[in-house]
Amino acid sequence: MTGDDIFYTASDGLALHARSYGPSTGAPAIVCLHGLTRNHKDFEPMIAALGMPARFISVDVRGRGQSARDPNPANYNPAIYAGDVLVLLDQLKLDRVHLIGTSMGGIISMILMTMIPDRISRVVLNDIGPIVEQAGLQRIMTSAAPASGFESWSAAAEAIAHAQAVPYPGLSPEDWMAFARRTCRAEDNGLVVPDFDPAIITPAPDKPPGLAARIGMWRLFAKMKPAPLLVIRGGHSDILSAKTADKMVRRHKRSSLATIPGVGHAPLLNEPESLRAIRHFLGETAG
């Protein structure tokens, strides 16, 4: 897609990257935050399909895409990522933004609401909430284990299709190739490798979080109340349960829920149901 690269420097000196799509002035700014192993390209299908008169700023979280790999793996955590996003907003002089956060990007969005609630207009949480289902987390950590490399793009697409067949049963071979090209990169030796630092992958905990951690996450979610909220859930998500999604909507009085049939964790956001929900939710301010 046509866009403009944004290079900036984190507070600790790490070189970071984002990409801007659409008009740079005179349009609402929508900041897109990807999941654990994805990058800024994850939102390109959504941006292209929406066709909204808005500026989309899609971030490469540190350790992914064109952002530098962090020499200290301890910095691969959502609190640090949120601080990086704040640096980006300040560099771009953006006083008010919408947020779209997929999975880990949704956790970053929640943290940003505790940091700069007055600068966030609306939030879309894509298949994430205060409670993350243990089985889904273990599946993600297992399937995300980086491969040593694939000999071709076709081999990469086939491997990704095998690993992600459960959440995305309806994708065609062409879709899987596009998926591979969004999530992998070709190295100088010709190998195709996942486009992230392997150090971001840590073993999933054996047990679900305790009571104190669960209470803490619901308290974090409560900080979302100043901004209207759209919760998107994959119809057979193993990360965000229907029970948790319903509870989120009950607790946030200015929220709505869109359940996307035929997909798991996480919707790609170019599904017709996702597009309708996002257009409706952002239409008043991005239209």
- pLDDT number for residue 287: 38
Q: What is the CATH number of the domain that holds 37?
A: 3.40.50.1820
For the chain, the C-alpha Rg in angstroms (whole number) is: 18
Output the CA torsion sign for 79, 80, 86, 89: negative
10-residue mean pLDDT series, the chain (287 residues): 95 98 88 97 97 95 98 97 98 97 98 98 98 91 78 96 93 98 95 95 82 95 97 98 98 97 97 97 64
DSSP one-letter code for 74: G
CA–CA separation, 110 and 30 (whole Å): 15
Q: Coil, helix or strand for 36? A: coil
Distances (CA, A) of 145 to 119, 188, 194, 198, 201: 36, 22, 9, 8, 7
Give the C-alpha separation, 140 to 30, whole Å: 27
Query: Quick check: is 72 in a domain?
Result: yes
pLDDT of res. 145: 66
190 located within any domain: no
pLDDT at position 231 is 98
Domain count, the chain: 1
Residue 152 lies in a domain: no
Domain membership of residue 45 as a residue range? 4-132+210-286
